[in-house]
């Protein structure tokens, strides 16, 4: 069961605040009965909701994992006409939104959903859901550099939290290394800025894991729906990290 105004907003009727005004002014009916209380809840999968006498097509909760390609905007629209992540969700008519961001030059695992509560839970900086990236960097950072990144480096917006790093591959000919880095924050372009701070710039960045979800098996530019178990694991991961922080 969900709050009526939230269901109406998710269905694209109007903003949450305007939907509240529709309810209190008597413009909304649920199963043939006028509802004017903001506390009213409905089941989107079973209840019939009307606004001004017209049936509203309600959206169920939708959870999608996309393998975002490089050169795609993490947004639902782009005034410049560039490709956005929604261009890679054929067949999905529900309104979904990205959870967090992957910058234009990065690729990998991106979550999209119309579940605002879960999206806020996952994206909120207090919850520290781990995210793992494979960073291809110029040069071969030695152990003390990785140790510095693990402990935290100073950026213009403050020290980073401790991270987890390990070598994956080294290409002596190109003088490049692939390093796995797991961070527990969500700052803008954080991984790139961390490696810039130690003078090993990133030439390719791919997010491979978000909490319990891994991108393995999902081709670039493709998406799949999450299972109920995966959604619950995501929710549990966010709540668990939040509770650990509260205990600290």
Residue 247 has pLDDT above 50, yes or no: no
Does the annotation count 52 as an active-site position? no
pLDDT digit string (tens) for 99-109?
988 999 999 99
- Catalytic residue (choose from 47, 103, 105, 196): 103
Instruction: Answer for the pair 133, 184: CB distance below 8 angstroms, yes or no.
Output: no
63-80 average pLDDT score: 95
Q: Which CATH superfamily, name and number, covers 131-210?
A: Alpha-L RNA-binding motif (3.30.70.1560)
Instruction: Return the beta strands (E) in the chain as ranges.
Output: 2-3, 28-30, 33-34, 41-42, 49-51, 54-55, 63-68, 97-98, 107-113, 131-138, 154-155, 158-159, 164-171, 176-183, 202-210, 213-214, 223-225
55 DSSP β-pair partners: 50
| Angstrom distances, CA of residue 226 to CA of 14, 33, 233, 238 | 27, 35, 11, 16
Residue with tokens 């209380």: 37
Overall fold of domain 2-55: 3.10.290
Would you say residue 68 has pLDDT above 90? yes
| Topology alike, domains 2-55 and 131-210 | no
Under CATH, which architecture does the 63-125+213-247 domain have? 2-Layer Sandwich (3.30)
What confidence tens digit (pLDDT) does each residue in 40-66 have?
Answer: 999 887 899 999 999 998 777 889 999
Task: Give me the mean pLDDT over the 145-150 stretch.
Answer: 95
């Amino acid at each position: 069961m969900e709050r009526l105004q939230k269901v109406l907003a998710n269905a694209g009727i109007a903003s949450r605040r305007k939907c509240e005004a529709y309810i209190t002014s008597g413009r909304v009916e649920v199963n043939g009965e006028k509802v004017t209380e903001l506390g009213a809840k409905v089941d989107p999968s079973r209840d019939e909701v009307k606004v001004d006498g017209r049936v509203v097509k309600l959206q169920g909760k939708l959870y999608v994992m996309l393998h975002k390609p490089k050169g795609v905007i993490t947004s639902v629209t782009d005034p410049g006409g560039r490709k956005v992540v929604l261009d890679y969700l054929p067949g999905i008519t529900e309104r979904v939104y990205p959870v967090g961001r992957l910058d234009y030059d990065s690729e990998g695992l991106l979550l999209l959903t119309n579940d605002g509560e879960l999206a806020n839970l996952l994206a909120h900086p207090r919850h520290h859901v781990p995210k793992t990236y494979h960073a291809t960097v110029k040069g071969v950072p030695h152990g003390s550099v990785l140790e510095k990144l693990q402990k935290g480096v100073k950026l213009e917006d403050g020290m980073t939290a401790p991270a987890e790093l390990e070598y994956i591959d080294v290409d002596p000919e190109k003088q490049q290394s692939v390093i796995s880095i797991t961070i527990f924050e969500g700052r803008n372009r954080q991984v790139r800025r961390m490696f810039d701070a130690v003078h090993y710039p990133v030439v390719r960045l791919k997010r491979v894991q978000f909490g319990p979800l891994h991108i393995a098996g999902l081709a670039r530019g493709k998406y799949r729906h999450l299972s109920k178990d995966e959604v619950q694991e995501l929710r549990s991961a966010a709540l668990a990290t939040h509770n650990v922080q509260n205990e600290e």
